Amino acid sequence: MTTTAQSRTAPLVEVGRWLIRATAPVLWPLAGSVLFRHVYFAAAAALLGVGAGAIASLAVDGPTPAWLPGTVWTLIGVLAGLTLVKAVAGYLEHFLGHWVAFKALELLRVRLYRALVPLAHQAARNASSGDLLTRATKDVDRIEVFFAHTLAPAVTAVTMPALVLAVMGPQVGGPAALAAGVGLGLSVVVVPALGVRASQRGADAANARRGEIAQHVTDSVQGMSEVTGYGHVDRRLEETASLDEALQADGAVRGRWAVAREGAAQAVSLATLPAVVAAGASSGADLVPLAAFTAMVWALFDATAGVRGFAGTLDASMAAARRVHQIAVTAPDVADPPTPVPVPAGSLGVRVEDVDYAYPSEAEARATALAGITLEVPAGSHTALMGASGSGKSSILRLLARHDDATAGTVALTGAEGAVVPVSAVALEDLRTATHYVTQQTTLFRGSIAENLRLSAPRAGDDRLWEALEAAQLAEAVRERGGLDTEVGEQGRRLSGGQRQRLGVARAVLARPRVLLLDEYTSHLDPETAAAVRAGLRAALPEATIVEATHTSAGLDAADQVVVLDAGRIVACGRPEDLKRGGPLARLIARETDRA
């Protein structure tokens, strides 16, 4: 994705606003989640407060305050009641949190999916972008965690102590309330902020270092032959160890601050209690409320824990949100023209003129994929592009299907009476109707064979599906396995590679394209089946113009024209029987698998 580099710096505010807009319809129950978390901690504090107050009221002479139970049975009733309230509130808090999280997850997933549709080809172009897709789905999950488990605790950590202080403060007097306020305030505001910046820097450094370690491990594993063969085992292990040492050093600062925060939190919470008692007692506060208050403050420190680590989680969640936002605002490399031209009627040919093409890449110097390609495919004919892997044959097919645009030159469809329409002038929907691309790896989705076939022809009846399967030499296998409703499994894993490939051919037949782009589409088939599939496909689509990329000679004879590519250039072009006599095509054929 080339355009993502610019949007990487999208301000946090913009990302936040986008996130809230995207999830706004489901956010209101979050208020319920926060509310029940308050109820939960109020009940927890009351359990201790009631107990301490009741014991204290036995010790002092005088009337028991109205809010305290007087007998053992009322005490049991109150304790059981508070336990019940606490458990119900805890249940509702989590249920509502999950409710919001799952709703938000669904919304974000759908949004991400729709944002990715116009970017599909550019995102899938290279392997690391493939990871980007997987990462984006993980990012959505991480945002879910933020909604479900992070926000409510952080809010409650601040508001709950404030509420208790407001209610109990007048009963215990200023000094005791102040002592509690200072302790809780330190725990909520000061302690979590200890070394936040240094920790953040440490976290960034550690993340970068982890990336370096992953790269080093990848090099060690992928390049193992060189490592063991040239005797670098010990050196590689030492390097990994020293990277780990560096990681440890990166984490040390952050670790020290985390230790300081946890220690300080413990010290503050424990020191607050004697301070409250001493301040209350010396200021002559009512002692029964003071005992209750002291116990409640102790219970409240549990609620303040939610704010520690919030900064770290928030940062990770916002980084995730930023990556998803980035995808949502990325402009596609390939888009519909402002005023689309219709595809010429009738049989279509293909014309490629002076085309150069280089993969978009972040690396500065990148070998060009195609240079000076000129090619004419007459309507209804069959052209084979032959070359080694990396020679550029698939790139030509991708430009024809407009997965990307050429760096220079024109890629066009030709119609009757000299009509020439560049593929970039046609609406993408029309282009995808006129052409059909069969790849080496047919992508299947969990579901039945019929569902997978109908992806290319939603309204096709069963008879048409069977016709297509017959053409692809797959009908018999499907019948044996239980017919059209046979499940293909995750990514079609219940089918063999050859069956998946033939399913791709059947899809092509159903799509009834005018230009058929075939990319090593019989590579998993034995020679006899491959020949039958070729014949079946031609018979099913007799009018179609075929452009086929291949690195083997199988089926070359069916082609009207063979174009030999090497390192992104055309090195020979002509009829197969002429080219086979010598030169580059003969050299490529000589490479083929020794079938002896």
Partner 1 sequence: MPAHPLFAPGAPAVRVQVACEALRTVAVGAVMLCVGRLLADALDRSAQVSVPVVAAAVAAALVAAATEAGSHAVQGRSIAAESRRLRGALLRRAFALGPARFTGAQTGRLVAMMTDSVERVTEYRQGYVGRLVGAVLAPLLTILLAAVFVDWLSALVLLLLVPVIPLAIMGFRRLVAGVSAASREMRMRLAGQFLEAIQGLPTLVGLRAAGRVGDRLQAAGEQNRRATMSLLARNQLILFVTESVFSLFMVSAAVLLAWVRHDDGAVTVAGALALVLLSTQLTAPMKQIGGFFYIGMAGRAGQRMMTAFVDRGVVPAGHAHPGGRPDARRPGTPAETAPAASSPAEPAPMRGDPAQEGAVVVQGVDFCYEPDRPVLTDVDLTVAERETTALLGTSGSGKSTLLGLLAGDLLPASGTVHVNGVPLTAATQDEVRAASAVVQQHTWLFRASLAQNLRIAAPGATDEQLWDALEQVDLARWARTLPQGLDTPVGERGLGVSGGQGQRIALARAFLAGRPLVILDEPTSQVDLESEAVIEQAIERLGERATVVLATHRPALVTGRAVRVRSGRVEQERR
Residues in 418-477 at the binding interface with partner 1, rule: CB under 8 A: 429, 432-433, 436-437, 439, 442-446, 455-456, 458
CA distance 161 to 186: 12
Chosen residue from 35, 94, 310, 560 binding partner 1 by CB under 8 A: 94
Residues 496-515 binding partner 1 (CB under 8 A) are 507, 511
Alpha-carbon distance of 84 to 393, in angstroms, equals: 70
Q: Is 208 near partner 1 (CB under 8 A)?
A: no
| One of 241, 331, 335, 345 touching partner 1 (CB under 8 A) | 241
β-pairing verdict for 561-566 and 382-386? parallel
Buried b or exposed e, range 519-551, using 16+ CB within 10 angstroms:
bbbbbbbeeebbbbbbebbeebbeebbbbbbbb
Which parts of 15-34 interact with partner 1 (CB under 8 A)?
none
**Of 512, 511, 563, which is closest to residue 542 (Cα–Cα)?**
512
Binding partner 1 by CB under 8 A: which of 24, 162, 198, 214? 214
DSSP3 helix / strand / coil % (the chain, rounded to 5): 65, 10, 25
Tokens at 535, concatenated: 């014949």
Q: Does 166 bind partner 1 (CB under 8 A)?
A: no
Asked if 264 interacts with partner 1 (CB under 8 A), we say: yes
CB atoms within 10 A of CB 370: 25
Member of 25, 70, 130, 461 binding partner 1 (CB under 8 A): 130
62 vs 418, beta carbon nearer partner 1: 62
Residues β-bridged to residue 259 = none
> Does the protein bind partner 1 through residue 323 (CB under 8 A)?
no
37's CB contacts (< 8 A; 6+ apart) are 89, 93, 152, 153, 155, 156, 160
Phi and psi angles of residue 375, each rounded to the nearest 5 degrees, phi first: -155, 135
> Which range of residues in 57-65, 192-200, 377-385, 474-482 is near partner 1 by CB under 8 A?
57-65
63 near partner 1, judged by CB under 8 A? no
Whichever of 339 and 389 has its CB closer to partner 1, that residue is 389
Residue 538: its H or E element = helix 527-540
Give the neighbor-by-neighbor strand order of the sheet with 545-550: 435-438, 515-519, 545-550, 382-386, 561-566, 569-574
According to CB under 8 A, which one of 158, 460, 567, 573 is a site residue for partner 1?
567
- Piece of the chain touching partner 1 by CB under 8 A; list 48-56, 188-196, 471-479, 574-582: 48-56
Q: Judged by CB under 8 A, does residue 299 bind partner 1?
A: yes
Residue 579's DSSP bridge partners are none
- Given candidates 18, 36, 41, 99, which one binds partner 1 under the rule CB under 8 A? 99
**298, 270 Cβ separation under 8 angstroms:** no
CB of 220 to partner 1, least distance (A): 6
Which part of the chain contacts partner 1 (CB under 8 A), choosing from 51-59, 156-164, 460-468, 532-540? Answer: 51-59
Residue 106 binds partner 1, judged by CB under 8 A: yes
Q: Does 182 participate in binding partner 1 (rule CB under 8 A)?
A: no
588 binds partner 1 (CB under 8 A): yes
User: Considering only 177-185, 188-196, 284-292, 335-343, which stretch makes contact with partner 1 by CB under 8 A?
Assistant: 284-292
Could you identify the residue written with the tokens 């040919």?
A: 349
